[in-house]
Amino acid sequence: MYIFEYANLYVEKYADNTLVLDFITEKEFIYFRNNGDYTENMKLSEYSPTMLLFHNAKKVKVSEGDILTVPMRELIRFKRNNYDSKQSNFEEAQPYGVFFTFNDSEWLEVLFLNRVAYKNNKLKSKLVEQVEGTWKEGKPCALRRLSNNICVEVEDVGQGNTNLIYDSESLAIFDFGANMFAPEYELKSIVYDLQDRFHNLRGVSLIISHWDYDHYCLLTVIDENILSNICCAFIPENVISLTAKQTVNKLKKCCKFVRAFSSPTPKDKRNIGIKPVIEEDRYVLYIGEKCKDKNKSGLLLAVKGREDITVMGADHTNRQIESCIKFLINSNYKYKVLNIVVPHHGGYSGKIKAKKFSQLTPGIAAVSVGKNSYKHPNQSTLDMYTNTGFKVLRTDWERRNIKIKMQ
């Protein structure tokens, strides 16, 4: 019999008094779920939601990415007192990645005020797991096969990111996420609408930019038989939350190949750069340098048409996107039009300096955004793209997928 005195919890999201925590180790989660019962042979046999959602968390001073160390006994006691497993339609009403939802967070606030729960970020480097892929040098097969008639489609998935890159025979997916607070049936509905596009293709490629839940949550609900249509997956190697770790295992189980990328050490820690890791005729895949902010250390994709470039910014900074564009401009290929899938749902990511790509004509700036408490998109960001000459399109205003047809 094991006894866990503390649980290390990862702050997945914290905004507008809503706090989402995720377990980091499987053992601690099983101990919590079983109310203090754990033996060595206990394992998670399949994907299990492991997140905790707290509403009205007004007096908790934490930031996304923090590690909280919480007394396990208090955590289990709170669960017993506040979670009603007999609620009607409880499972249908909850986001799939959230196992327990608590509306009264007074308990959590009391813990913080009494310094019983505290930030423990010194543990972070030890808790981050470097996952290994099944493939060392592979490249996205679907991107390699793209013809001249390329379409980049930004899906209307709310406050999340899913982007499709395709022609008549090939399909690649850059991020596979949606609104993290959407109930399970909504996430499954999005997957159902997309899954028919996986068939009759020679292989689908998947790229996950970074391990923010709104960039990969559709992988938690997709049927394994459908997921097996994905030939190869490309992911950042640094994983911390238990939900992300389970998702990596699901990819390894279902996809033929999985390649995990490591971030290079930055030359200047004040200005986190970006580096190409795969470059071919139709695309360049980049990765951000090592950083405490996983947004900056994720993967970024630029797709090349005959005359157009489309850059999918994930949650990178505009400075990193400018570096990506500069790299493309300095190549031998001559482009005319630049399209951008605006990073971070249109949130502030630094300024765009038009002179960096003045030889290109601004095309479409697509913003994947939905109802949120972050006040995305930022008006100054929208004005910046508009004043630079881009045609700004938002999924929440268009109420449809945004298609960028490349020349």
Mean pLDDT of 40-60: 85
Q: What is the pLDDT of residues 203-236, one digit of tens each?
A: 799 999 999 999 999 999 999 999 999 999 999 9
**Per-residue confidence band for 87, with pLDDT thresholds at 50, 70 and 90:** very low
Reported in sequence order, the residue ranges of 289-355 that DSSP labels E, i.e. its strands, are 299-304, 308-312, 337-341
- String of DSSP letters for 175-238: EE---TTSBHHHHHHHHHHHHGGGTTSS-EEEE-----GGGTGGGGTS-HHHHTTEEEEEEESE
DSSP class of 378:
P
Mean pLDDT of 304-330: 90
**Per-residue confidence band for 80, with pLDDT thresholds at 50, 70 and 90:** confident
Task: Give the pLDDT of residue 221.
Answer: 92
Q: Quick one: how far is CA 245 from the chain centroid?
A: 13
At 360, which amino acid appears?
L
**Per-residue confidence band for 371, with pLDDT thresholds at 50, 70 and 90:** confident
**Per-residue confidence band for 385, with pLDDT thresholds at 50, 70 and 90:** very high
Mean pLDDT of 266-273: 85
Structure-token pair, residue 141: 């097969």
Task: Give the pLDDT of residue 280.
Answer: 93
Mean pLDDT of 192-200: 84
Output the pTM of the full model: 0.94
DSSP class of 343:
G
Count, residues in the chain: 407
Task: Give the pLDDT of residue 1.
Answer: 62
Task: Give the pLDDT of residue 372.
Answer: 81
Q: Which residues pair with 308 in a beta bridge?
A: 337
Say yes or no to pLDDT of 297 above 80: yes
Most confident of 71-75, 111-115, 125-129, 244-248: 244-248
Domain ranges of the chain: 6-127, 129-405
Sheet of 337-341, strand order: 274-280, 283-288, 299-304, 308-312, 337-341, 361-367, 391-394
CA dist 375 and 2 (Å) reads: 44
Give percent of the chain above pLDDT 70.
94
Q: What is the pLDDT of residues 128-185, one digit of tens each?
A: 999 999 998 999 999 999 988 899 999 999 999 999 999 988 999 999 999 988 888 8
**Per-residue confidence band for 121, with pLDDT thresholds at 50, 70 and 90:** confident
Q: Which residues pair with 172 in a beta bridge?
A: 165, 205
- The CATH number of the structural domain formed by 129-405 is 3.60.15.10
